[in-house]
Amino acid sequence: MSLAVKRRDPAALVLLAGPVLLCALAIIVPLVLTLVVSFWERKMIGMQPGFTLTSYGLFFEGARFSVLRRSFFVAISSTLIMLLIAYAVAYLITFRLKPSRTRIFLFLLSVPFLVNYVIRTFAWAYLLGRTGPVNQFLLDLGVINQPLDWLLFSDFAVYLGLIAAYMPFMVYPIWLSLSAIDKRLIEASWMLGEAPLQTFLRVVLPLSLPGVFAAAIFGFVGAFGEVAVSQILGGVGYQLMGNAITSSLDVLNYPMAAAMSTVVVGCMLIMLLLWLRFFDLRLFLGKVLGR
Amino acid sequence: MRGSLHLLVWLCLAAVLVFLYAPLVPPLLLAIRDPQTGAATLNNFAAIGADPTLVSAITNSVLLAAIVGIAAPLLGLAAAQAVRSFGLPRLIITIVLLPLFIPGVSMGVSTSLFFRLTGIDPSLFTMAVVQTLWALPFAFLIILTVMSGFDTLYLEAAYTSGANRLQAFREVELPQIAPGLTGAATFSVILSFNETVRTAVVQGGNNTVQTFIWSRYQQVGLTPNMYALMSLIIIVTLLLILVLVALGRKQQQS
């Protein structure tokens, strides 16, 4: 990069650094504040500065802890399922489609993603209902002779909702790292006599790991903090961390909401740090950064 | 053999698309169906205009989309320029992209605690802040992509011909990256228009169309009017995406 571009004059510094600093503060200060509040005491309808582990104590022993455990399990298992689908899709569009068609497919993939996922989740609730089109279709076909109950308000429905909501987003990072692989490496492996599966396992898969890990984070973040999918498709009482946090907010228990939120954000930050530790950001954003 | 494999690939990809597009259909069908008779009707849409809370929710949504559509690209532009000039790309990128990695509820809780403790009451402003922070990573990435296609040699040429930094930016770089900015703006509007969870936590007494549907669902469940609203949101979003496509076409032609 040339010096001329890097040269600094005070006005430009203020103009550029100002907004960046503002964003940094707007993102980081509230998160730090949440950590601080999580140690505060709860008052009748508010909170009071102090230092207590009450909220964490209540969180880790009460019914909320089972919500955390369930959330963790649902998030991890749904992320694994979503990774399998997203990887298959990314692999097919990278290696089996013409580049021009890949772009079209990625575009088509992102259109539903841009439509609010709460609305899409409502639609799934309708599609999967006892009298909904899916049951009707199966009845008409004669596959079943009474409506399936487990289609809605079940683990199945929640997983389906999560996949519909977050899987498309996971295709992009995997596609980014798959398409960055030097095709000559794959050809070399083929010429050296490796079977296709071996080539995939020993060349393609390892080289695509930065994207896979990024996709895993996206999926996990979505599923772990989920509010709408669990409430709409899981039915009454199906709670994930997001639901537990909002219901604490509803009863104005701010320290508890802060404590649970801190645990969630903490999990995310650990994953993010691991990602940054193992992979260089430029490896992944290389195309975007143009170097 | 090869042909059938090809067909299989297409079938798999088509199945994924059907799965993703299926939920866009029911709201549209339910919106034009009379709940009693099942006949096609537009009454559900007409009822929207008669509800003052709904009208104000729509106004709020439009205002917010406008604010976010301007704020997010500008902040994204500043951040992307800073990435190029300051030599701290990793730090800036990590911070700006952070909201992508934090669940919506947590982001909402954090900002609402921040506003509560600083004494800022819930308003359009607090909603705009939350939505801007959410749209920023996307706007930032779009602008960064467009900027990486811009050769900084042009800037050097401008400097050698005596332009100052602002002139060089306005007259040389801006025309080149403008499609990225409009793309980022459209994307931000779409994201703002479709955001629920973060906004719901900091909205106070205000509503957007999205949070209105959400809270109505929690109180009384879904009514035909709600489906009409959802259809509107879907249609507007699809139209905005068409704008994005048109912008992209124009960029490729120029």
Q: Which of A119, A131, A136, A220 to mutate to test the interface with B (most CBs of B within 10 A)?
A: A119
Buried-exposed string B37-61: b where 16+ CB fall within 10 A, e elsewhere: eeeebeebbeebeeeeebeebbebb
A291 falls in which pLDDT band (50, 70, 90)? Answer: very low
Q: Taking all residues of chain B, what is their mean pLDDT, rounded to a whole number? A: 87
Residues 195-254 of A with CB under 8 A from B: 217-218, 221-222, 224-228, 231-232, 241-242, 245-246, 249, 254
CB–CB contact A281 B94 (8 Å) = yes
The per-residue pLDDT for A148 is 84
Q: How far is A184 from chain B (nearest CA, A)?
A: 23
Q: How many CB atoms lie within 10 A of CB B237?
A: 21
Minimal-distance CA residue of chain B relative to A106 = B17
Give the chain B residue whose CA is nearest to the CA of A91: B9
Out of B75, B105, B222, the one facing A242 most closely (by C-beta) is: B105
**A-chain residues within 8 Å CB-CB of B152?**
1-2, 4-5
Please say whether the beta carbons of B70 and B135 come within 8 A.
no
Please report the residues numbered 97 through 136 in chain A whose beta carbons come closer than 8 angstroms to any beta carbon of chain B.
97, 105, 107-109, 111-116, 118-124, 126-127, 133
What is residue A284's predicted lDDT score, i.e. its pLDDT?
60
Contacts of B238 in chain A (CB under 8 A): 111, 115
pLDDT value, residue A2: 44
* Contact check, Cβ <8 Å, A127/B22: yes
What's the rounded Cα separation, in Å, for the pair A166 and A267?
18
Give the residue on B whose Cα is nearest the Cα of A267.
Answer: B102
Confidence of residue A283 (pLDDT cuts 50, 70, 90): low
**Cα(B31)–Cα(B158) distance, rounded to whole angstroms?**
56
B51 token code pair: 């509800």
**What average pLDDT does the segment B194-218 reach?**
87
CA-based nearest residue in chain A for residue B186 = A114
CA end-to-end distance (rounded Å), chain A: 10
Q: With the CA atoms of A82, A83, A88 and A89 taken in that order, what torsion angle do they form, in degrees rounded to the nearest 10?
A: 60
Rounded Cα distance between A141 and A137, Å, is 6
* Neighbouring-strand partners of residue A46: A43
Residues B151-166, mean pLDDT to the nearest whole number = 85
Quote the CA–CA distance of A271 and A291 in Å, as a whole number.
26
Are B60 and B121 contacting, i.e. CB atoms less than 8 angstroms apart?
no
Chain mean pLDDT for chain A? 86
Number of residues in chain B? 254
pLDDT computed for residue A289 by the predictor: 53
Chain A: residue whose CA lies nearest to B126: A26
Rounded Cα distance, B62 and A64, in Å: 38
- CB contacts of A118 in chain B (<8 Å) are 196-197, 210, 213-214
**Distance from CA of residue B241 to its chain's centroid?**
10
Q: Is the pLDDT of residue B238 over 60?
A: yes
pLDDT tens-place string over residues A18-31: 888 888 899 999 99
Task: State the average pLDDT over residues B34-63.
Answer: 84
pLDDT, tens digit (0-9, with 9 covering 90-100), for A68-117? 899 999 999 999 999 999 999 999 999 888 888 888 999 999 899 888 88
Q: Report the pLDDT value the prediction gives residue A103, as an integer from 0 to 100.
A: 86
Distance CA A23, CA A19 (A): 6
pLDDT band at A285 (very low <50, low <70, confident <90, very high): low
Partners of A42 in beta bridges: A47
Nearest alpha-carbon partner for A18 in B213, B32, B74, B244: B74
pLDDT in tens, A202-255: 888 988 998 899 899 989 988 988 888 998 999 888 888 899 998 888 888 889
Residues B77-134 have pLDDT tens digits of 999 988 888 767 778 888 898 898 888 899 999 999 999 889 888 889 999 999 999 9
Amino acid at A21: L
Interface test with B, best of A32, A118, A163, A246 (most B CBs within 10 A): A118
Residues of A in contact with B109 (CB under 8 A): 34, 245, 249, 257-258, 261
Contact state of B13 with A93 under an 8 Å Cβ cutoff: yes
Q: CB of A93 within 8 Å of any CB in chain B?
A: yes
Strands A46-48 and A41-43: antiparallel
For the cut 50, the answer to whether the pLDDT of residue A13 exceeds it is yes
H helical segments located in chain A: 3-6, 10-37, 54-61, 63-95, 99-114, 117-128, 133-141, 155-179, 183-191, 196-199, 205-207, 209-224, 228-234, 241-250, 254-278, 281-289
pLDDT, tens digit, 9 for 90 and up, residues A148-207: 888 888 899 999 999 999 999 899 989 988 988 888 888 888 888 888 888 888 888 988
| pLDDT range class, residue B146, cuts 50, 70, 90 | confident
